[in-house]
């Protein structure tokens, strides 16, 4: 078989955006795409030459690449949520109410004097298997299996408000831990070890490579251009429109130019928030309002699972704005539960997406 591959840069441009008056200025943000194709002799077309297209994009902040290929070939798999509640699959769940008090840990007096933080159904406990100095697990609901449509406004708001309250508390106790973040695996395809809805909250000097790469690049962008990357990104995306989903209060929602997840990625930016102390209940409300819209889209497209993160930068900077990221997850099939991440992500650290960001944006706009 004679494979031919060519690669050309089809767009590497600094978009022009309108400022206050009629003046047009060029943005320092570069969107670079390598549009490529691969030609082979197709077995289902009498072994005649056939050309398949794919793209490699460069993240405008970090400079890391992501592949877009296999378009439309991966369909989200339906999950039988009822089966997760059956005794043989459910097994022992430490987060269920009948076990929670006995088997989950409590915070030390210095951190949370009452042992656990509670707000309605939301309950925050230390992780029995901590990943960091302060490693909180937030149990979001009383029920064990909670479908997306039942992760309602109250449950989301209570969970996020309580989690952010915990981060603010930790920041006051341990101001030497500079970075704060929330992470969230929902349902088994996301890698979550427990079906019972929960989030994790960290205060840490080691927030992970993605966080640190973004932090360094945001600072570099501000130093080089004098502009805040995140505010600039919102302006550029709003002006071009193809990845700008909408605005809710103080938050702007976009589909990311490079997706970390296989089914695309949605980014929510709070351009005026730089540390967790600045994140108010109003910001949580904006985040929840957007999430509910995304969950409607997920519900309509057979998406049952996701990963999400919320990043807060360190004190004394105005380059790294608070942002939330959510990527849908699925099994590739229900026959052998193949995960949707493989050597690309595990060994090449290269995301692959089958969903073009512009298509995802168009689909989501209907819900915003
Ligand atoms: Zn449970």
Q: Give 200 Cα–ligand 1 centroid separation in angstroms.
A: 16
Q: Which two tokens stand for residue 220?
A: 């570099």
- List, for residues 272-326, the tens digit of each pLDDT value: 999 999 999 999 999 999 999 999 999 999 999 999 999 999 999 999 999 999 9
Is the pLDDT reported for residue 5 higher than 70? no
Q: Give 92 Cα–ligand 1 centroid separation in angstroms.
A: 8
Q: Which two tokens stand for residue 182?
A: 């929330």
Long-range contacts of 245-248 (CB under 8 A, 24+ apart): 245/361, 245/364, 245/365, 245/368, 246/365, 246/368, 248/286, 248/289, 248/290, 248/368
pLDDT of residue 16: 60
- List, for residues 63-105, the tens digit of each pLDDT value: 999 999 988 778 899 999 999 989 888 889 999 999 999 999 9
Q: Give 211 Cα–ligand 1 centroid separation in angstroms.
A: 30
Q: Give 178 Cα–ligand 1 centroid separation in angstroms.
A: 33
- List, for residues 159-189, the tens digit of each pLDDT value: 999 999 999 999 999 999 999 999 999 999 9
CB-proximal residues (5 Å) to ion ligand 1: 93, 95-96, 144, 196
Q: Which residue is it, tokens 């004679």?
A: 2
pLDDT of residue 1: 36
Residue 148 is classified by DSSP as G
Q: Give 117 Cα–ligand 1 centroid separation in angstroms.
A: 18
How far apart are the C-alpha atoms of 79 and 302, rounded to whole Å? 9
Strand (E) or helix (H) holding 105: none
DSSP annotation string for 172-210: HH-TT--EEEEEEEESGGGT-S-SS-EEEEEEES---HH
Is the pLDDT reported for residue 223 higher than 60? yes
Q: Give 102 Cα–ligand 1 centroid separation in angstroms.
A: 14
Backbone angles phi, psi at 137, to 5 degrees: -110, 130
Q: Give 168 Cα–ligand 1 centroid separation in angstroms.
A: 27
Q: Give 47 Cα–ligand 1 centroid separation in angstroms.
A: 53
Q: Give 187 Cα–ligand 1 centroid separation in angstroms.
A: 12
67 within 8 A of 38, measured Cβ to Cβ: no
How far apart are the C-alpha atoms of 152 and 51, rounded to whole Å? 46
Is the pLDDT reported for residue 138 higher than 90? yes
Q: Give 64 Cα–ligand 1 centroid separation in angstroms.
A: 38
CA distance to 12, 108, 169, 202, 290, per residue, from 134 (Å)? 42, 11, 11, 6, 28
Q: Give 98 Cα–ligand 1 centroid separation in angstroms.
A: 9
Q: Give 88 Cα–ligand 1 centroid separation in angstroms.
A: 13
Q: Which two tokens stand for residue 175?
A: 């101001």
Strand, coil or helix: what is 356?
Answer: coil
Percent of the residues in the chain that have a pLDDT greater than 70, as a whole number:
93
Model's pTM, two decimal places?
0.93
């Amino acid at each position: 078989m004679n494979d031919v591959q060519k690669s050309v840069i089809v767009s590497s441009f600094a978009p022009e955006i309108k400022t206050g008056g009629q003046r047009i200025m060029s943005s320092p943000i570069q969107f670079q795409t390598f549009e490529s194709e691969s030609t082979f002799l197709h077995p289902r077309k009498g072994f005649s030459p056939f050309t398949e297209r794919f793209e490699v994009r460069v993240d405008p902040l970090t400079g890391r690449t992501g592949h877009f290929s296999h378009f439309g070939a991966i369909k989200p798999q339906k999950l039988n949520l009822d089966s997760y509640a059956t005794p043989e699959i459910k097994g022992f769940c430490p987060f269920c109410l009948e076990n929670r008090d006995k088997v989950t840990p409590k915070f030390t007096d210095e951190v949370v004097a009452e042992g656990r933080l509670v707000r309605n159904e939301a309950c925050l406990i230390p992780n029995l298997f901590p990943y960091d100095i302060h490693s909180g697990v937030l149990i979001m609901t009383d029920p064990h299996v909670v479908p997306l449509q039942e992760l309602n406004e109250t449950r989301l708001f209570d969970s996020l408000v309580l989690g952010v309250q915990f981060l603010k508390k930790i920041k006051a106790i341990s101001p030497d831990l500079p970075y704060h973040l929330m992470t969230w695996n929902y349902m088994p395809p996301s890698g979550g070890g427990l079906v019972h809805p929960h989030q994790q909250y960290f205060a840490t000097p080691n927030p992970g490579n993605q966080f640190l790469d973004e932090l360094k690049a945001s600072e570099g962008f501000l130093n080089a251009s004098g502009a805040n990357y995140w505010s600039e990104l919102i302006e550029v995306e709003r002006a071009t429109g193809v990845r700008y989903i909408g605005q809710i209060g103080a938050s702007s929602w976009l589909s990311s130019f490079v997706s970390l997840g296989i089914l695309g990625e949605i980014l929510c930016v709070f351009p005026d928030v730089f540390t967790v102390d600045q994140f108010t209940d109003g910001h949580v409300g904006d985040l929840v309002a957007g999430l509910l819209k995304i969950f409607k889209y997920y519900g309509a497209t057979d998406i049952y699972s996701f990963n999400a993160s919320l990043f807060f930068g360190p004190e004394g900077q105005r380059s790294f704005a608070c942002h939330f990221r959510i990527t849908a997850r699925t099994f590739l099939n229900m026959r052998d539960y193949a995960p949707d991440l493989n050597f690309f992500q595990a060994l090449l650290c290269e995301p692959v997406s089958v969903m073009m960001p512009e298509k995802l944006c168009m689909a989501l706009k209907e819900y915003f």
